[in-house]
């Protein structure tokens, strides 16, 4: 009863939890062979569960199912986060007990909350996560049974057979994607996101935009592709498009050994994890799409808003993040079932491991103090960057990489990483006092507007200014 209450409170928005009856435990591990529940005890156990859960206030009831596994019976309680937090349960089962506790889960334990945790719990009382809210503008007909069946079949759910012959509303209720009030049956937002053919009708700009800049940000050639539909489908379609049109493998042979070096411009596993995390953590009540921007030397995945404030700036820079709360607990549950994400702060490590295996530079993660946006920035493998630089110089008359006044893109890319925009500008000026704004823009990968804005501030603060000549000019650093 206390654990059901704790899962219902779901302080960290992890999506509640499960309780399995019929498995002996030893130091947190199941004891084999599994014992199961005696058949003649199943009815009595369920009545006991019902009577104890009725003591939870406000009213809360887990979803209970008797499961056959390895020729034995088990009782599984699914306890999703409740809509009416905080929940409390009696501290003891004695008749004279009047003390009630708002139990919570911490790691693998059900505990009484501290004063600060109890305050957090009450602050969450009227803040049901957006993905778990009932959508009053939608109807049950907006949920597509084919999408639901495809999902249930893919995750090998026992509900799949039931969905083919059973009651549609009952199946949706078992999946917890509709409100549970018989007199007012409406889809929840998470159901519409995954199982509506057009979630954009209810959540405008729920889409992924992939934008390529083959000629740089200042060029006229822009390739755009937009992916819409159920969010798991648009994620898969966008990843398929990126893998087929953007990901490139390079093989470098060496005269002194038989083995060739193989690497990709971007490792697909890193992109898959970064984009899946963006779909997981974006705010679907904000009218901003997820944007994937592909330039000659980098790929940026931008989503809105930024992470929870429990994610610190220092943590982002050191790649050590412990997110206290998850914005979309139900979306995370469905994505994990589809093996599209894992959650639990594992994304950074998977991205870092994929980049290291490919020999790619380390990524950058960026947000602002207001947590209004989040950018995952992946840099192209150096082998592709050198290739592009050589090709550009080979096609330009009277230009060689060793020209004293040139600013090679490769060396600039290596030296500028991790610096602020102002520091990058000063490094470029020091290397080549005659560098133009257009050359800066191409190397830094910023818009002319952003560059001019920063230069204007630098002039006002007497940091740097441009001195013009009849046919050329140079920068003066103070």
Task: Give the whole-angstrom CA distance, residue 469 versus residue 436.
Answer: 13
SS3 (DSSP) at 396: coil
pTM of the model: 0.62
The DSSP element (H or E) to which 76 belongs, if any, is: strand 72-79
Q: Which two tokens stand for residue 28?
A: 């947190």
Task: Give the whole-angstrom CA distance, residue 40 versus residue 98.
Answer: 34
Task: Quote the pLDDT of residue 318.
Answer: 76
Task: Quote the pLDDT of residue 345.
Answer: 57
Q: What is the DSSP letter of 40?
A: G
In a 10 Å sphere around its CB, with 0-12 CB exposed, 13-18 middle and 19+ buried, how is residue 42 labelled?
Answer: middle
User: Would you give the distance in Å from CA 114 to the centre of its chain?
Assistant: 30
**By mean pLDDT, which of 58-72, 150-164, 267-281, 339-353 is the weakest?**
339-353
The position carrying tokens 């379609």 is 237
Average pLDDT of the residues in 455-466: 78
Nearest 5°: CA angle at 61, between 58 and 63? 155
Task: Quote the pLDDT of residue 412.
Answer: 43
Residue 9 has pLDDT above 80, yes or no: yes
Structural contact between residues 72 and 35, judged by C-beta atoms closer than 8 angstroms: yes
Task: Quote the pLDDT of residue 399.
Answer: 38
Residue 444 has pLDDT above 90, yes or no: no
DSSP 41-73: GHHHHHHHHHHHHTTSBS----EEEEEEETTEE
Beta bridge pairs of residue 181: 184
Task: Give the whole-angstrom CA distance, residue 271 versus residue 241.
Answer: 12
Average pLDDT of the residues in 151-166: 90
Residue 178 has pLDDT above 90, yes or no: yes
Q: Peptide bond before 146: cis, by omega within 30 degrees of 0?
A: no
The DSSP element (H or E) to which 4 belongs, if any, is: helix 2-9
DSSP 215-255: T-TTSS--EEEEE-SSHHHHHHHHHHHHHHHT--EEEE--T
Which of the two residues, 459 and 448, has the higher pLDDT score? 459
Q: Which residue blocks in 293-408 are alpha helix, DSSP H?
A: 313-318, 329-337, 347-358, 382-394
Task: Quote the pLDDT of residue 322.
Answer: 62
Beta-sheet pairing, 208-212 with 290-294: parallel
Task: Give the whole-angstrom CA distance, residue 367 versus residue 303.
Answer: 10
Residue 409 has pLDDT above 60, yes or no: no
**By mean pLDDT, which of 89-103, 136-150, 256-270 is the weakest?**
256-270
Residue 288 has pLDDT above 60, yes or no: yes
Domain ranges within the chain, ordered by starting residue: 1-127, 251-382, 401-477
Task: Give the whole-angstrom CA distance, residue 138 versus residue 189.
Answer: 9
Task: Quote the pLDDT of residue 80.
Answer: 84
Which of the two residues, 232 and 439, has the higher pLDDT score? 232
CB atoms within 10 A of CB 330: 26
SS3 (DSSP) at 32: coil
pLDDT band at 300 (very low <50, low <70, confident <90, very high): very high
The DSSP element (H or E) to which 101 belongs, if any, is: strand 100-101
pLDDT band at 260 (very low <50, low <70, confident <90, very high): confident
* CATH topology for the 1-127 domain: 3.30.950
Residue 262 has pLDDT above 70, yes or no: yes
Structural contact between residues 436 and 455, judged by C-beta atoms closer than 8 angstroms: no
Residue 51 has pLDDT above 70, yes or no: yes
Q: Which two tokens stand for residue 291?
A: 């944007």
pLDDT band at 308 (very low <50, low <70, confident <90, very high): confident
Residue 478 has pLDDT above 50, yes or no: yes
pLDDT in tens, 347-369: 788 899 999 999 999 999 998 88
Nearest 5°: CA angle at 13, between 62 and 133? 70
Task: Quote the pLDDT of residue 468.
Answer: 57
Which of the two residues, 168 and 313, has the higher pLDDT score? 168
Task: Give the whole-angstrom CA distance, residue 32 versus residue 455.
Answer: 68
pLDDT band at 472 (very low <50, low <70, confident <90, very high): low
Task: Quote the pLDDT of residue 326.
Answer: 66
Nearest 5°: CA angle at 342, between 299 and 179? 110
Beta bridge pairs of residue 263: 250
Q: What is the DSSP letter of 168?
A: H
Task: Give the whole-angstrom CA distance, residue 399 versus residue 392.
Answer: 9
Residue 112 has pLDDT above 70, yes or no: yes
Task: Quote the pLDDT of residue 370.
Answer: 85
Residue 22 has pLDDT above 90, yes or no: yes
Task: Quote the pLDDT of residue 410.
Answer: 37
Q: Which two tokens stand for residue 298?
A: 């980098």
Structurally, what CATH architecture does the domain formed by 251-382 represent? 2-Layer Sandwich (3.30)
pLDDT in tens, 364-388: 999 888 888 999 999 999 888 755 5
Residue 473 has pLDDT above 70, yes or no: no
Residues whose CB falls within 8 Å of the CB of residue 315, separated by 6 or more in sequence, listed in order: 321, 322
Q: Which two tokens stand for residue 387?
A: 């290739």
The DSSP element (H or E) to which 8 belongs, if any, is: helix 2-9
Average pLDDT of the residues in 307-319: 76
Which of the two residues, 312 and 199, has the higher pLDDT score? 199
Question: What is the four-CA torsion angle of 77, 83, 86, 87, rounded to 10 degrees?
Answer: -40
pLDDT band at 400 (very low <50, low <70, confident <90, very high): very low
Structurally, what CATH architecture does the domain formed by 401-477 represent? Orthogonal Bundle (1.10)
Task: Quote the pLDDT of residue 233.
Answer: 95
Task: Quote the pLDDT of residue 324.
Answer: 55
Task: Give the whole-angstrom CA distance, residue 109 versus residue 116.
Answer: 18
Structural contact between residues 86 and 6, judged by C-beta atoms closer than 8 angstroms: no
Q: Which two tokens stand for residue 275?
A: 């984009």
Task: Quote the pLDDT of residue 343.
Answer: 58
The position carrying tokens 């550009």 is 392
pLDDT band at 302 (very low <50, low <70, confident <90, very high): very high
pLDDT in tens, 182-222: 667 899 999 999 999 999 999 999 999 999 988 777 777 88
pLDDT in tens, 64-74: 999 999 999 99
């Amino acid at each position: 009863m206390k654990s059901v209450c704790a899962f219902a409170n779901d302080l960290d928005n992890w999506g509640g939890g499960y309780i399995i009856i019929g498995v002996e435990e030893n130091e947190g591990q199941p004891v084999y062979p599994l014992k199961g529940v005696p058949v003649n005890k199943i009815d009595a156990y369920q009545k006991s569960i019902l009577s104890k859960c009725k003591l939870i206030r406000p009213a809360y009831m887990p979803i209970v199912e008797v499961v056959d596994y390895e020729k034995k019976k088990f009782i599984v309680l699914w306890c999703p986060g409740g809509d009416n937090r905080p929940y409390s349960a009696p501290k003891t089962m004695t008749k004279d007990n009047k003390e009630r506790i708002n139990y919570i889960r911490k790691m693998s334990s059900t505990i009484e909350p501290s004063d600060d945790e109890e305050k957090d719990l009450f602050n969450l009382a009227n803040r049901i996560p957006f993905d778990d809210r009932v959508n009053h503008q939608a109807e049950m007909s907006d949920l597509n049974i084919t999408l639901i069946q495809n999902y249930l079949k893919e995750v090998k759910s026992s509900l799949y057979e039931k969905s083919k012959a059973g009651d549609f509303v009952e199946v949706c209720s078992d999946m917890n994607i509709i409100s549970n009030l018989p007199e007012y049956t409406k889809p929840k937002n998470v159901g519409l996101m995954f199982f509506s053919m057009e979630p954009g009708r209810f959540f405008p700009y729920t889409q992924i935009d992939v934008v390529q800049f083959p000629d740089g940000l200042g060029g006229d050639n822009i390739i755009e592709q937009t992916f819409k539909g159920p969010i798991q489908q648009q994620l898969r379609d966008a990843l398929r498009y990126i893998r087929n049109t953007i990901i490139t493998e390079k093989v470098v042979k060496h005269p002194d050994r038989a083995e060739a070096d193989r690497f990709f411009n971007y490792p697909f596993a890193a992109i898959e994890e970064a984009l899946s995390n963006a779909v997981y953590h974006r705010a679907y009540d904000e009218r901003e799409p997820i944007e994937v921007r592909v330039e000659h030397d980098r790929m940026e995945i931008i989503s809105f808003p930024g992470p929870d404030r429990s994610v610190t700036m220092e943590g982002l820079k050191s790649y050590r993040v412990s997110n206290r709360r998850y914005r979309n607990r139900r979306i995370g549950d469905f994505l994990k079932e589809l093996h599209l994400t894992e959650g639990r702060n594992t994304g950074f490590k998977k991205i870092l491991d994929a980049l290291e295996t490919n020999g790619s530079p380390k990524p950058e993660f960026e947000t602002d103090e207001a947590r209004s946006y989040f950018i995952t920035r992946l840099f192209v493998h150096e082998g592709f960057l050198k290739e592009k630089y050589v090709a550009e110089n080979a096609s330009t008359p009277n230009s060689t990489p060793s020209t004293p006044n040139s600013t090679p893109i490769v060396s600039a890319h290596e030296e500028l990483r991790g610096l602020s925009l102002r520091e990058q500008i000063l490094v470029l000026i020091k290397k080549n006092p005659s560098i133009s704004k257009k050359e800066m823009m191409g190397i830094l990968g910023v818009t002319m507007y952003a560059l001019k804005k920063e230069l204007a501030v630098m002039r006002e603060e007497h940091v740097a200014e441009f001195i013009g000549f009849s046919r050329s000019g140079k920068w003066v650093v103070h």
